[in-house]
Chain A
């Protein structure tokens, strides 16, 4: 009951703006501190006995890859919010998340490719995990193109919501691609049955970085949502002005 009340409260954009204005500085501060701790710990982490110093790419690559999937999941929930509950902020959330998710996916691809060059001997391999993440990146770009193709935001929102839900099929495929197709990319090693196979010296910095990146996403997302709300207000004011001048 409490949750639905909070969500209904947030449906008022003015209340949302007021609330986020108060919590955004704290979020940004927490993100900066955690990122600093995580980067320091990653720098201090020992070299891997096989991979040497290149293992440190992992501390950037893995959080980016996790978030690339997490952001699409957030957008899928927002898409349900648009289509089922008609929550007024759901499409704002979906629209604001797409470029951020695309950026995380792009970074995951780039860092993975830089890591793959010394380890696998190639920047790119048409492996199942890599291909499915590349498809995710293309779908982020298609979704952004869809948002840009239509002037009326509420119309674009419903179309984008349908596409987001269809694209959500890709998320479990990415997650399990390393188990279904036994190819170059290593299988899951952090979250798995029977405990993590990662050594503690690597696990802690990775977890701190993962939390820091998640907070970074929340901060950027809330800030982008604020921008989007303000942008729509500006648009409405401009339309009103144009109408008045025409009349």
Chain B
């Protein structure tokens, strides 16, 4: 247990310090959100209608951007081989790494959401709904994305291949995340229905992600 805690602490520390790049995700999130009004025009009514979708897309792309770092750095300096060989089950180690990644890269996105909501003319309930759906949905993005990151690191290919593999898997999360936010803002669906499906997606990926990532690391590293 303490090994996992140490792993989480180490990963967060590396991510937050110089060269870690976790906070780049937030900066990217901000930039994407600022770009949108230039693309669709500064119509405040339209922006507040599109707001949840823009924030969700931005968060999805930002979390994809930082996923590459989940295993690459550890693979380059050899610590990934040590983690694979250690007595801690690889599935748990993968889950710990994903949790650390979510705490360092995913949570800041949610904290930034209220500020970005202001830029998109979202009112209090809307901002709260988007933040709540992001809180429930981004773990699913990280844990399914981890599968793609593990595949990419064993193949020594990151970047575009990772995006092509991960984005189709993240479509359901996007659908129910935006649906829940819209339901909270304008109805007619109750907020609870899509929100509980979103939570279910997160919980399912919490189980599937570590196993699939561990399997691909075990089979892929040599």
- A-to-B contact residues, CB < 8 Å: 83, 131, 135, 138-139, 141-142, 145-146, 149-150, 155-156, 158-159, 161-163, 165-167, 169
Contacts and interface: CB of A to CB of B under 8 A. Distances in A.
B112 interface: no
Interface residues of B, number: 21
A67 B113 CA distance: 43
Given A146-B161, A162-B147, A162-B212, A155 B168 contact: no
B135 to A, nearest CB: 23
Contacts of B216: 158-159, 162
B219 A146 contact: no
Given A83-B215, A149-B155, A155-B154, A163 B165 contact: yes
B157 A150 contact: yes
The prevalent SS among residues of A at the interface is: helix
Interface of B: 144, 147, 150-151, 154-155, 157, 161, 164-165, 167-169, 171, 175, 208, 212, 215-216, 219-220
Given A142-B165, A162-B215, A165-B212, A150 B171 contact: no
A159 B216 CA distance: 6
A228 B168 CA distance: 27
A166 B208 CA distance: 8
A63 to B, nearest CB: 24
Nearest to A162: B216
A142 B171 contact: no
B161 A145 contact: yes
Given A146-B151, A161-B219, 13 more contacts: A83-B215, A83-B219, A131-B175, A135-B168, A145-B165, A155-B220, A156-B155, A158-B154, A158-B219, A159-B155, A162-B215, A167-B169, A169-B208
